[in-house]
Amino acid sequence: MKKLQQLYEGKAKKVFETDDPDLLIVAYKDDATAFNGQKKGQIADKGVVNNIMSNIIFKIIEDAGVPTHLVRQISDRETLVKRVRILPLEVIIRNVAAGSFSKRYGVEEGSGLARTVLEFSYKNDDLGDPLINDDHILALELSTEEELALVKEYAFKVNEVMKKFFLERGLKLIDFKIEFGIHKGELILADEISPDTCRLWDCETNEKMDKDRFRRDLGNVEETYQAVLARVRG
């Protein structure tokens, strides 16, 4: 597989074309941002951790029946993926109150919820990724009704698979964000699943083992990313 010209550079990854028009190479960077890019930094070897971890989890998700963009890992930082048209939606699942949910609704971080919450943000940096609902999504034609129903079904399935996976590794899955895209007419899971996109708390100590260490200047950022990868690798 030949790596051709760069197609796009995002905050955490670069995307390259390949000699197959249906496949792309994603290259994970160590750059870290928070608060819509207002806070900037680097986390040494984050790109390696996120690439390897994301691929392990995508494989498990694929085996559980949710199609993903994963083709194969090609190096520590690079993975071959199916080209998608990304739906401009951040699909967030919350098992426990934290982050913007706690802030918005005035509930203490760590509070239990009477049910699992699925929420959507409109993926638009200029607008600061505003919270949106199903009606907004359909009114703005960000997805079709069929796609939206499948996105929800897949998101809850991904939650069940990941909750179990992390629990077996001593981590509580508090919340996470995923993204979907369309490849040859099929809805598939895209982007990444990593400590950048999940909140993971140690089951015994409740220690935060995710990007909140960077967002909130909690220290031991690099060590925590490595510790999560070690647990994921088992």
Applying CB under 6 A, the residues found at the interface with ligand TMP are 92, 98-101, 175-177, 196-199
**Residue in the block written with tokens 């990007």:** 211
Residue selected from 6, 36, 75, 133 as contacting ligand ASP according to rule CB under 6 A: 36
Q: Which of residues 194-223 bind ligand ASP (CB under 6 A)?
A: 211, 215
Stretch that binds ligand ASP, among 30-38, 46-54, 65-73, 162-170 (CB under 6 A): 30-38
137 in Cβ contact with 143 (< 8 Å): yes
For ligand ASP, the closer of residues 11 and 157 by Cβ is 11
11 contacts ligand ASP (rule: CB under 6 A): yes
Helices (H) and strands (E) in the chain, counts: 6, 14
Could you tell me which of 70, 20, 85 has the C-alpha nearest to residue 192? 70
33 binds, among ligand TMP, ligand ASP, none (CB under 5 to 8 A by kind): ligand ASP
CB of 21 to ligand TMP, least distance (A): 29
33 contacts ligand ASP (rule: CB under 6 A): yes
Beta pairing partners, 175: 94, 199
Q: Is the dihedral of CA 161, 166, 171, 174 positive or negative?
A: negative
For ligand TMP, the closer of residues 78 and 196 by Cβ is 196
Q: Which two tokens stand for residue 193?
A: 């699943």
Q: How many residues bind ligand ASP (CB under 6 A)?
A: 7
Q: How far is CA 46 from CA 96, 129, 141, 152, in A?
A: 25, 23, 35, 29
Chain centre distance of CA 170: 20
Residue selected from 3, 17, 31, 34 as contacting ligand ASP according to rule CB under 6 A: 34
For ligand TMP, the closer of residues 18 and 166 by Cβ is 166
CB of 139 to ligand TMP, least distance (A): 22
Q: Which two tokens stand for residue 195?
A: 């400590």
Rg, Å, the chain Cα set: 17
**How would you classify residue 57: left for phi > 0, otherwise alpha for psi between -120 and 50, otherwise beta?**
alpha
For ligand ASP, the closer of residues 181 and 195 by Cβ is 195
Binding site for ligand ASP (CB under 6 A): 11, 33-34, 36-37, 211, 215
